[in-house]
Amino acid sequence: MSELQFEGVTVRYGGTTAVECVHLTVPEGRIVGLVGESGSGKSTLARAAVGLAPFTGRILLDGRPIPTRGRRRPLQMVFQDPYSSLDPRMSVGESVAEAMPDGTRSQRRSEVARLLELVHLDPTRAAVRPSELSGGQRQRVALARALAGRPQVVIADEITSALDVSIQGAVLNLVRELQRELGLSMLFISHNLAVVRYVATHVAVMHDGRIVENGQTAQVLADPHDDYTRTLLAAIPGRRSHP
């Protein structure tokens, strides 16, 4: 796994600035939570990292520009909607295998089974279509597909927000488990600070396209310096607002 750095990243669409001069680091082997309300610029920053949005500034992996050529993609993204992120015409196994940069048919089949087991799905599910799976199972397949690309960093964009509350916890536990077992470097994006608190060692708070607070999760939550962070904290059920 690698370190992902955003250095002065700005994204503009016409006369609108969606992301403004963002400096952010995802350390190697860590999960960094990027939190903010809808429209704050979180997903735009993620799209810039994987080449889906134009930007100025620099986005680096281990201090070097992200390579844009070659079959292997060093950044892999897991999207919010597990229903639209998988091709309905392909089996689960085909979707996962498609993301693999190389390997014989036998090697790919074996790797698909390994990855499905890694995300706690029965390898026999490789033969089914996404329509035969629940939303939580599809999101597990999406995670397996991202890992199949052997990424240096995974970007997870609101991966639990489309799931039932009862399923969200299982997916979050899986993310924590993958981080422990694989040393996963991940930018975990969410509008929910309670979710970020559960999975992330570091947190960055984004508001109106800017990072307004950034630090270790426990420190930011215990002593927030920005009013917007305090507002997000106050919205967590069962938590008293910070004075």
Q: State residue 166's pLDDT score.
A: 81
Nearest-5° angle of CA 67, CA 204, CA 75?
A: 20
Residue 87 confidence (pLDDT) above 60: yes
Domains and CATH numbers, the chain: 4-42+52-66+73-191+201-209 (3.40.50.300)
Average pLDDT over residues 63-73: 73
Average the pLDDT over each of 80-84, 100-104, 201-205 and give the range with the smallest value: 80-84
Q: Is the dihedral of CA 196, 200, 201, 205 positive or negative?
A: negative
Average pLDDT over residues 203-207: 96
Q: State residue 1's pLDDT score.
A: 67
Could you tell me which of 30, 29, 73 has the C-alpha nearest to residue 51? 73
